[in-house]
Amino acid sequence: MPGSTLPSPKGTRDFYPIEMARRRWIEDKWRKTSVRHGFEEIDGPTFEHVEVFTIKSGEGIVSEIFGAFSGKDETQLENLKQGHAPFALRPEFTPTLARMFAARAKQLPQPTKWFWQGPCFRAERPQRGRLREFLQWNCDILGMGGPDQPKERATADAEAIAVCVDLLASCGLKPSDITVQINDRHIVAGMLAECGAAGREMQALMLLDKRGKIPEAEIGPMFAAMGVDLARFDAMAAGLRAPRVSDSPRFADLGVALASLGVEEWCAVNPYIARGLAYYTGTVFEVIVDGERAVAGGGRYDNLIEVFGGPPTPAVGFGMGDVVLSLVLQDKGLMPTDAQITKDLGLRPDAFVISNGTPESDAAVAPLLARLRGRGLHARRSYKATKNIGKLLKDASDAGSRFAVIIEGAGEVTLKNLDDNTQDRGATDAMLARITP
Ligand code: HAM
């Protein structure tokens, strides 16, 4: 198609250098925060056998799968014609993590604390905060707190929440900006059963997850059709709410654990948080800013490792996406300037080499660059034809360089510190020695 350009597929993003630097800034924070909290990084394949996701993640996510197949396999092509792709681009990482943990459960330490970050794919309708390819950061704690160890379980839940809160705080967010809304599926399923959903608790939970996302006038009749007395549920839910997590008797252990990690003021009990994924078994939480889709979501999934052939293993974790996080940081003016991001990521050039315009100095530019780079420094030059030193110095400062090195002739340079605008002229070796990483 000469003359016309192609956009990226619907719901995906092209990352030009500045968008890429912003993305790296977030990824860098994710990685550093996980490491600070004692999580180790893992990775798995971008695509999985489709069953890995159909087995336990639930209807919602399965309906958004991007199918994938190998063009090398005739049987797969047949399957595809019938609408069954054998592989799926991962819509989330938790089933892969469960599969990996189950395969090595015997050798792995207890608890195992893993983090992961990478792209996920969901064929959702693109809208504010929702794309078809996005980045997710996950932290998960496996093998801590058995069924009869409520305090250890609460500690694991609180540790997962604390690493998430630490990330938010390190971006400059405050408890008044954002809340970790916590609930417990086990408790809510019991309440729903009492209100008429006995035997259909999971469907009722999934409907509860839709509350607030689709109009109340539509949800009411849907609960009624299930035989659920919503007014009664609302009355029971009101009793679960409390200003602080530790004030809600059913969340007392978690409240204490959150308080001891210093993050309780970021949290609140919200009896309407249900979460859309099918595998959650107890504590669930979502990180919410008014008017936006969730920044992060997670919870306890104590049966999933067994589903993948491993031993019974308690597990808790969360996933945070880059899309809503970026929107929130931009809206609150917390996304740093491009210059600051370049600095934070260590992308500032150390030296920008300029010729004074003589043929000998021009020829000395490349060797000087090689010398600086050989010392591990980030060195650049201008590719412009101009010999105007003022213009070249402007290029150096536009690139954010720390120093400009102007080649003055045989064995001599001017070293200009672009941060404080001081300069000195002298022998090349002595001047270059002043540029340290
Ligand atoms: P999730 O709630 O489906 O949970 O996704 C977690 C986060 O990923 C969301 O809060 C949101 O920030 C981001 N996200 C999800 N879908 C999209 C989308 N279409 N566009 C942009 N961002 C999106 C999970 O995926 C669980 N596996 C998390 C988990 C880990 N639970 C335990 N461990």
Q: Is 131 near ligand 1, meaning CB less than 6 Å away?
A: yes
Phi, psi of 116 (to 5 degrees): -150, 145
pLDDT of residue 321: 98
pLDDT at residue 41 greater than cutoff 90: yes
Is the distance from the beta carbon of residue 124 to the nearest atom of ligand 1 less than 6 Å? yes
DSSP states of 9-39: PTT-----HHHHHHHHHHHHHHHHHHHHTT-
User: Exposed e or buried b for every residue in 356-375, given b needs 16+ CB within 10 A?
Assistant: beeeebeebbeebbeebeee
Task: Note the pLDDT tens digit of each residue in 149-191.
Answer: 999 999 999 999 999 999 999 999 999 999 999 999 999 999 9
Q: What separation in Å is there between the alpha carbon of 248 and the centre of ligand 1?
A: 27
**Is residue 90 in contact with ligand 1, taking CB distance under 6 Å?**
no
pLDDT, tens digit, 9 for 90 and up, residues 72-92: 777 766 766 666 788 999 999
Residue 209 has pLDDT above 90, yes or no: no
Q: For residue 1, name the pLDDT band (cuts at 50, 70, 90).
A: low
How many Å lie between the centroid of ligand 1 and the Cα of residue 435?
A: 45
Collapsing DSSP states into helix, strand and coil, what is residue 41?
Answer: strand
Say yes or no to pLDDT of 127 above 80: yes
DSSP 247: G
- Give the model confidence (pLDDT) of 18-35 as tens digits: 999 999 999 999 999 999
Q: What pairing do the DSSP bridges indicate for beta strands 112-121 and 66-68?
A: unpaired
- Rounded-to-integer distance, Cα 53 and Cα 58, Å: 8
Q: Give the amino acid at 51.
A: E
Using a 6 Å cutoff on CB, does residue 95 contact ligand 1?
Answer: no
Band (pLDDT 50/70/90 cuts) for residue 334 is very high
Best mutation site among 120, 135, 279 for ligand 1, i.e. most ligand atoms within 8 A of its Cβ? Answer: 120
Residue 312: pLDDT over 80: yes
Ligand 1 in contact with 144 (CB < 6 A)? no
Q: How confident is the model at residue 289 (pLDDT cuts 50, 70, 90)?
A: very high
Q: Region 223-250: what's the mean pLDDT? A: 90
Q: Closest by alpha carbon to 357, among 384, 388, 394?
A: 388
Distance 297 CA to ligand 1 centre (A): 6
In degrees and rounded to multiples of 5, residue 392 shows phi and psi of -70, -35
Distances (CA, A) of 427 to 107, 381, 403, 418, 430: 60, 20, 16, 19, 6
Confidence of residue 354 (pLDDT cuts 50, 70, 90): very high
What pLDDT is stored for residue 77 in this prediction?
A: 67
Ligand 1 atom closest to Cα of residue 275: 2
To test the ligand 1 pocket, which listed residue (90, 209, 323) has its Cβ within 8 A of the most ligand atoms?
323
| pTM of the model as a whole | 0.94
Q: For ligand 1, say whether the CB of 273 is within 6 Å of any of its atoms.
A: no
Tell me the best of 159, 293, 303 to mutate to test the pocket of ligand 1, counting ligand atoms within 8 Å of each CB and taking the most.
Answer: 293
Closest CA to 275 of 189, 190, 194, 197: 189
Tell me the percentage of the chain whose pLDDT exceeds 90.
81
Cα(315) to ligand 1 centroid in Å equals 17
Question: What are 82-119's pLDDT values in tens digits?
Answer: 667 889 999 999 999 999 999 999 999 999 999 999 99
